[in-house]
């Protein structure tokens, strides 16, 4: 009798042991599957492990997107980790590969390198090999080489030319209303400088081109001369942040240097400043303020235009120290990305539930709209 009881107890223990091993194996397999379809959104919420890869934490606009994304991911109840590439594509690529190896099963990528599609393609290939979705955002990536190469790949960003067109329109209209006061030396021509964020970046290229072209179109249609670049001998009509960081420091350094030669005393003062983003606009304004401009009421205001409408830029505009910006909606960017994250969490197609957004016709790209922002804009 004792022998039979012992055998029965042993059998129960063996059944429990096998059940435990089977349970662990199922959990491991589910985690590896990542965002692939499974039953129950509650289970998927536990499994979703998001890696968010930013090109540079120091970028003011990107910091705004990150703050909103952190808040919304936390509210969604998913696990996530932020990564700072600090402007280095090799670092970001390594971060992505390490994250995938560590169990990340949804990639959200703010790509560093935009002059070539190779880095984004490498990340897509890594995601495809792991069978996990990848969402690129903010910095444009190629249609066919990247987005269309994988059915679990999408992009959330803006329509790059729109910011340049809006900025050019804003500048042209402002100059038509304030031409004589902007023309400090009275020569009938507005002298400008353009601060470009990065070579080869779609947003930077469009803003640099259309910010001037569209302003010129308004001016010349009214019989005014086109804008004149401050340095007539320059081979390129912009000053670029050579580090590709769109930084306030780069614009400040350029502005401090050029003010030594181009100023009111010499009769050749830069009369208009156009910037690809608000960070560079703020750097230029700081240099102007150091020599007595743009300090508010009672001081000469050199019109400065940027893009992003960050909180700090809005404050400068409201104070009269900056003229205008083009709003790139950081919260809207994050909220749109969250729609795709929710799809991944629920096991749905990545581009499900996007009917209310502006989506490109032949590629999984969602466009978040820009808007003009000046002192009359109501927040």
- Which of 154, 158, 157 is CA-nearest to residue 340? 154
Tell me 145's DSSP state.
Answer: T
> What is the arithmetic mean of pLDDT over 87-116?
97
Indicate whether 147 and 172 sit together in one domain. no
**Is the pLDDT confidence value at 42 over 80?**
no
Tell me: the pLDDT tens digits for 172-187?
999 999 999 999 999 9
**Is the pLDDT confidence value at 26 over 80?**
no
- Give me the CATH number covering residue 267: 3.40.50.2300
**Is the pLDDT confidence value at 36 over 90?**
no
Indicate whether 139 and 210 sit together in one domain. no
Determine, yes or no, domain membership for 1.
no
Indicate whether 65 and 124 sit together in one domain. yes
Determine, yes or no, domain membership for 45.
yes
Tell me: the pLDDT tens digits for 131-153?
999 999 999 999 999 999 999 99
State how far the Cα of 112 lies from the Cα of 139, in Å rounded to an integer.
Answer: 8
Indicate whether 218 and 101 sit together in one domain. no
Indicate whether 209 and 81 sit together in one domain. no
**Is the pLDDT confidence value at 14 over 80?**
no
**Is the pLDDT confidence value at 221 over 90?**
yes
CA distances from 234 to 193, 204, 237, 246 (A): 11, 19, 6, 21
Q: Are 366 and 329 in contact (CB under 8 A)?
A: no
- Residue 337's domain comprises 39-157+330-369
Domain count for the chain: 2
Indicate whether 265 and 188 sit together in one domain. yes
Indicate whether 174 and 221 sit together in one domain. yes
> What is the arithmetic mean of pLDDT over 63-88?
97
State how far the Cα of 26 lies from the Cα of 143, in Å rounded to an integer.
Answer: 37
Indicate whether 251 and 235 sit together in one domain. yes
Indicate whether 59 and 181 sit together in one domain. no
Indicate whether 307 and 346 sit together in one domain. no
Q: How would you classify the pairing of strands 49-54 and 79-84?
A: parallel
Determine, yes or no, domain membership for 236.
yes
Indicate whether 255 and 202 sit together in one domain. yes
Determine, yes or no, domain membership for 113.
yes
How does the average pLDDT of the chain come out, rounded?
A: 89
Task: Please give the model's pTM, rounded to 2 decimal places.
Answer: 0.84
Determine, yes or no, domain membership for 76.
yes
Tell me: the pLDDT tens digits for 295-353?
987 899 999 999 999 999 999 999 999 999 999 999 999 999 999 999 999 999 999 99
Indicate whether 195 and 104 sit together in one domain. no
Q: If DSSP codes are grouped into helix, strand and coil, which group holds residue 53?
A: strand
> What is the arithmetic mean of pLDDT over 38-46?
36
Determine, yes or no, domain membership for 204.
yes
Determine, yes or no, domain membership for 193.
yes
Domain boundary among 311, 327, 343: 327
Determine, yes or no, domain membership for 80.
yes
Please report the DSSP string for 294-321 in residue order: SSSTTS----EEEEE--HHHHHHHHTTS
């Amino acid at each position: 009798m004792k022998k039979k009881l012992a055998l029965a107890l042993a059998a129960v223990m063996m059944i429990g042991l096998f059940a435990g091993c089977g349970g662990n194996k199922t959990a491991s397999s589910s985690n590896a599957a990542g965002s692939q379809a499974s039953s129950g959104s509650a289970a998927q919420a536990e499994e979703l492990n998001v890696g968010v890869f930013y090109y540079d934490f120091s970028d003011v606009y990107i910091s705004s997107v990150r703050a909103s994304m952190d808040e919304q991911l936390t509210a969604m109840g998913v696990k996530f980790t932020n990564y700072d590439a600090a402007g280095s594509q090799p670092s970001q690529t390594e971060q992505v590969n390490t994250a995938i190896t560590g169990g990340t099963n949804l990639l959200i990528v703010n790509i560093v390198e935009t002059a070539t599609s190779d880095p984004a393609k490498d990340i897509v290939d890594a995601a495809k090999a792991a069978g996990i979705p990848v969402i690129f955002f903010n910095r444009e990536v190629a249609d066919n080489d990247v987005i269309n190469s994988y059915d679990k790949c999408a992009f959330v960003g803006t329509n790059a030319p729109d910011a340049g067109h809006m900025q050019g329109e804003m500048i042209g209209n402002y100059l038509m209303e304030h031409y004589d006061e902007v023309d400090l030396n009275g020569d009938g021509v507005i002298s400008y400088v353009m601060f470009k964020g990065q070579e080869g970046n779609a947003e930077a290229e469009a803003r640099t081109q259309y910010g001037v072209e569209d302003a010129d179109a308004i001016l010349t249609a009214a019989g005014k001369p086109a804008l004149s670049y401050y340095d007539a001998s320059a081979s390129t009509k912009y000053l670029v942040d050579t580090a590709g960081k769109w930084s306030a420091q780069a614009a400040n350094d350029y502005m401090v240097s050029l003010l030594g030669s181009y100023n009111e005393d010499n009769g050749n003062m830069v009369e208009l400043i156009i910037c690809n983003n608000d960070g560079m606009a703020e750097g230029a304004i700081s240099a102007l303020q150091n020599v007595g401009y743009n300090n508010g009421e009672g001081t000469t205001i050199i019109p400065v235009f940027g893009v992003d409408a960050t909180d700090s830029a809005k404050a400068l505009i409201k104070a009269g120290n900056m003229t205008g910006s083009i709003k790139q909606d950081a919260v809207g960017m994050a909220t749109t990305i969250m729609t795709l994250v929710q799809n991944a969490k629920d096991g749905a197609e990545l581009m499900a539930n996007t009917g209310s957004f502006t989506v490109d016709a032949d590629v999984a790209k969602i466009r978040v709209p820009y808007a003009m922002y000046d002192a009359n804009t109501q927040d």
